Chain A
């Protein structure tokens, strides 16, 4: 009996030792699995961060290398000049003057140009309407990096000085950058001027930011003018782009016939 008991105890001890070894073995293999999982988690997250940043950099670099394609309006036979920080386009004897407030980054301004650009050119050529472009930098901080609105506004005024405003204006809207994306820098804005046949005076004007201050002033003046505030559609009133005004009164440009009606009646109604 005694011997059997001792044997049993020995047996039990052996088993315990075996169990301990197993436990130890399991501990290490579990650690290894944990390390593997940890490495996977870290690698996947690091790849996400690095990949995201590189992807965005790459997209921005592509935009930086892009050139703005020159576009031409159908024969413009009306004078254009810079007038006190605005661009005044149209024949002197035109009876109606329309004030346009726009920002080259503003998507709705792009849609407006697409829809009504040709009609506006027709009226300018016909000599019925003068257009005063208030080019403002409302969305100056909405490009990445910020500053496109102002740079584009400055360049457009430079183009007015250089005699190519209608083409320049059309080209910028035709190749309009997205909000939140990279805009065009002065090199690209200067390149468009060259492609449209302007010389060093234009390039210098762009690079020196000759009209940047006036673009900003136009924005300050417009946004603080109570007559230019419009319903936002959500109960509030605010200034936004595009805004169309005649004789200091805003006009509902979302009606596609606004210009025809204006020419017919001669007033903002």
Chain B
């Protein structure tokens, strides 16, 4: 990573963050608009015990929306990305088990869902799409730094507070370029 300009990585990360936010907002929004359909979609996976289908199908769209909003604003990007990755892994596992068990369902990833005829299943495409989204989440979990984020704003805020004595002391050997992670701040002393 060191050979690539951090600014470029920040730019890519920002796009990745907004992209994943859009995925969650769209997916969650469509589901939240038709909770009855989502109940059928969740039920069709035949994974959850009957008593869990209803609450899970009710909460899931709003969790997706919440992840989308947090990513859009850039709040806790690393944690939210890890949670996104976990959720996506669960979705991939859900689709994979349906495929393996010979169920014929639509994943209901972006609305819809439930039973479909055997010729209408699209398991490979659905898994591939989720793996793509998972890649976005993993990027952000590994390198959560992006532009236009609340996280960044909080970091800059602290940096401004401590920069003044640091500059006066000039003890830092010019690491100002990277307004930095906690590890950075403490190293080399």
Contacts and interface: CB of A to CB of B under 8 A. Distances in A.
Contacts of B172: 19
A19 B169 contact: yes
Contacts of B133: none
Interface in A48-102: 48-49, 51-53, 55-57, 59
A57 B37 CA distance: 16
Given A15-B169, A16-B189, A53 B58 contact: yes
Interface stretch (B8-16, B38-46, B95-103, B123-131): B38-46
B47 interface: no
Interface residues of A, number: 44
A23 B185 contact: yes
B39 A144 contact: yes
A246 to B, nearest CB: 27
A70 to B, nearest CB: 25
A20 B189 contact: yes
A25 B158 CA distance: 10
Contacts of A22: 162, 165-166, 169
A197 interface: no
A179 B34 CA distance: 11
Chain A interface mostly: helix
A26 B185 contact: yes
Interface string B147-189: 0001100110110011001100111100000000010011001
A145 B189 CA distance: 64
A57 B55 CA distance: 9
Interface string A136-175: 0000011011100000000000000000000000000000
A47 B76 CA distance: 16
Nearest to A30: B182
Contacts of B170: 15
A203 B59 CA distance: 36
B54 to A, nearest CB: 6
B154 A37 contact: yes
B39 A180 contact: yes
Q: Which residue, B62, B70, B157, B161, has most C-beta atoms of chain A within 10 A?
A: B62
Interface of A: 15-16, 18-20, 22-23, 25-27, 29-30, 33, 36-38, 40-41, 44-45, 47-49, 51-53, 55-57, 59, 141-142, 144-146, 178-181, 232, 234-236, 238
Given A18-B165, A18-B171, 15 more contacts: A23-B186, A33-B155, A37-B76, A37-B151, A47-B66, A48-B62, A48-B65, A49-B59, A49-B63, A56-B58, A57-B58, A144-B53, A235-B119, A236-B117, A236-B118
Please name the 8 residue pairs, one residue from A and one from B, whose CB atoms are nearest each other, closest first.
A180-B36, A56-B58, A48-B62, A48-B66, A52-B62, A52-B59, A41-B76, A181-B36
